Structure 1
Amino acid sequence: MNRNTFVPVNEPLLKGNEEKYLLECIRTGWISSEGPFIKQFEEQLAARVGRKYGVAVSNGSVALDASVAALGIGAGDEVILPAFTIISCAAAIVRSGAVPVVVDCDPVTWNMDVAQVEARITPRTKAIMVVHIFGLPVDMKPMLALAHRYGLKVIEDAAEMHGQTYAGKPCGSFGDISTFSFYPNKHITTGEGGMIMTDDPALAEKCRSLRNLCFKPEQRFVHDELGWNFRMTNMQAALGVAQLEQLDKFVQIKRRMGARYTSLLAGIPGIQLPLPRTDFADNIYWVYGLVLADSVPFDAKEAMTRLAKLGIGTRPYFWPMHEQPVFRKMGLFAGESYPVAERIARRGFYVPSGLALTDGQMEQVAEAMRKVFQ
């Protein structure tokens, strides 16, 4: 297909100081994880989110691994999380030796159903992993109250929430520890990359050690514990600093894009559009997600195939954790069913949503959608 007619599902916007800062890395020779942009990115994002400490890592998935390890979660523990999320969340729990316990999601916001969490708490529950999905945050007030009542740790996965707030407070500022991802489809990208956030100095120091192979401070190459090489490079951090400078503009672009899509797609039958807002947040439209009504005689996979033939890139929704073959082979989630997650996984997908998306491309998407669904 002609590249000029195809609308990719994501294209980042790199029109700020990205090139300038990358060239600075090259000119100075600071291209590894030792360079000055690392600390700058950590401090600036922590200040933006309202956290005391930021620990830059190589991606959002390992941010979860390190967070789980830093909290001392391990064999015999249980961690509650949404059934509808990326596998990185459950994988971090499983790798630690703990057991993932999932709850279904809300059919309108697609976030974990907070009302279902308390029933899943047992004496073995150690933490709740809260994952904000697609553009709207989880309702944190009752979640934090529940965690406090039962003495549970809270891991907040804010990977998709750059610039979003809950009741006026930045996402990523809640709970004991929080994580971000900087994959190319995020509001801030470093190509690959992630960040751990906390207000606890001991947790921050533990995460710094874990990301750097747990070298003993007084004797390099001597290790009392096993860590990982989860380090971010100075070049990635340079991109992050440049992107962070533009975050407010990026949020405006995304919200304008969401409103434009909603206007263009209104009236197409059989499609659930994203919820524009809740009582505590306006949608940030990390991606513009859609769910097909049961009246539509084909599923999301078929819809995506038809749209691809019309030059529109799409992505499926997450596949539920309890239906992942790798976990089933481990004996996890036997006999469990979470109908909302199962349904939206099969009937949900998102359309091109990158920051570089133009009005013309959105109109092209809408035209293709009308052809497929009308």
Structure 2
Amino acid sequence: MVKVYLDDPNVGELEKKYLCECIDSGYVSSVGPNIGTFENRFAEYLGVKRAVSTQSGTSALHLALYELGIGPGDEVIVPVLTFIATVNPIMYVGARPVFVDVDPETWTIDPDEIEKYITPRTKAIIPVHLYGNPCDMDRIMDISRRYGIPVIEDATESLGATYKERFTGTFGVMGVFSFNGNKIITTGGGGMVVTDDEKKANHIKFLANQARDTSRGYYHPEIGFNYRMTNLEASLGLAQFERFPQFLEMKRRFAQIYTEGLRNNLNVEFQGSYPGAESSYWLFSIKLKGDKSVQEVQKLLAEKGIPTRRIFMPIVEFPMYQQYREGEYKNAYDIYKRGLNLPASTLNTEKGIEYVVKTLNEVL
């Protein structure tokens, strides 16, 4: 039986080489040349002026919200269907999350729903490019301009994805990325804030380093955070970034195999995309139709050596966020009830993905 991987990281000899060189240099902590090199290459790839590395995608989003001065009494509009890390930083700064439903076809935040929930207290909109699938950034940025509300893009799952030939994460005032172990490239942990605003980038870099004024030694003029990426992590990131074009090509090839192999299955519905959008397919995702439940299909696939994952649970299901429920969120709940993430790790081979397709067709 061919081995199949869900979202495992793809690390090898190049990563070992870069990590060993980093260890030999002695620069293993938050000081070292690879941090700046990684930031610069990342910014150059996306076509933005600055990229600031962080300890995680969560800390990147926290810093972005903090930099905009968002705090108690403010509201932040966010999709109800996302990973919990999109929402927790809103609470870190003391603001109120305002949950809206998603588009039933693309599974990303519905622009019509955004407008319904805007109030004088709305201080930011966080669109999430779910599973690598770009949001309708034309409409979202139009809303942003008309109401004067900044956009922070949660692009943590969408490195390499484009909307009308422009990379996700580059539309809003800031975009954030994650390099967790299951992402398309990894630094073990790690994240990045990207922006064209040099002043904001400099201040975020300052905040992430305990707000330390290094020109005055250990002097801290404001409250900061220990959100720095290490040189070890950046070394891993540089190796992964060299291999990123191959990883992205593989993700899209796997998506093509899934689409071609499952398109005639009446029990499968695909996650759609907006015109001009090209997903990075961090995870290839489907909705199931027919009599079998998601749990039953997962069990049958697991028996055949195929790992899968449920779609994210709507955030208002969690105890600390139930008080913020303001709607029915019918689309999000339907996607959660019937949605399934299929294996998409770049450790897979085309043969492995074809095996998943064949087995899923048999199971359904």
TM-score (structure 1 length as normaliser)? 0.92
For 1:327-367, what per-residue CA distance to the aligned partner results, in whole angstroms no more than 9, with x for missing partners?
12xx322x532011011112111111011211221122123
Counterparts of residues 19-168 of structure 1 (less than 5 Å): 19-168=16-165
Counterparts of residues 153-232 of structure 1 (less than 5 Å): 153-232=150-229
Aligned-residue offset at 1:169: 1.3
- Helix, strand or coil at the partner of 2:307: coil
- Counterpart of 2:333 (choices 342, 345, 354) is 342
Does the aligned pair in 2 maintain the 1:6–1:313 contact within 8 Å?
no
Does residue 250 of structure 1 match 2:250? Answer: no
- Helix, strand or coil at the partner of 1:297: coil
Does the aligned pair in 1 maintain the 2:158–2:279 contact within 8 Å?
no
In structure 2, distance between residues paired with 1:229 and 1:306: 44
Aligned length: 364
Identity level (%): 39
Aligned-residue offset at 1:16: 6.7
- Counterpart of 1:281 (choices 253, 277, 282) is 277
Aligned-residue offset at 1:38: 0.2
- Counterpart of 2:346 (choices 355, 358, 361) is 355
In structure 2, what residue type is equivalent to 1:292? L
In structure 1, distance between residues paired with 2:146 and 2:187: 38
- Helix, strand or coil at the partner of 2:119: coil
In structure 2, distance between residues paired with 1:262 and 1:148: 36
Q: Which residue of 1 aligns with 2:358?
A: 367
For 1:294-351, what per-residue CA distance to the aligned partner results, in whole angstroms no more than 9, with x for missing partners?
xx224323322222122111111111122222212xx322x53201101111211111
In structure 2, distance between residues paired with 1:235 and 1:206: 23
- Helix, strand or coil at the partner of 1:130: coil
RMSD, aligned CA:
1.7
**Which stretch shifts more, 168-177 or 217-226?**
217-226
In structure 1, what residue type is equivalent to 2:277? A
Aligned-residue offset at 1:13: 2.7
Aligned-residue offset at 1:85: 0.7
In structure 2, distance between residues paired with 1:268 and 1:315: 20
**Which stretch shifts more, 108-117 or 223-232?**
223-232
TM-score (structure 2 length as normaliser)? 0.95
Q: Which residue of 1 aligns with 2:297?
A: 303
For 1:150-190, what per-residue CA distance to the aligned partner results, in whole angstroms no more than 9, with x for missing partners?
11111011111111211111212111111000112222211
Q: List gaps (5 residues or longer) in structure 2.
A: none
Q: Which residue of 2 aligns with 1:261?
A: 258
In structure 1, what residue type is equivalent to 2:359? A
Aligned-residue offset at 1:57: 0.7
For 1:223-261, what per-residue CA distance to the aligned partner results, in whole angstroms no more than 9, with x for missing partners?
333222111111111111122222222221111111111
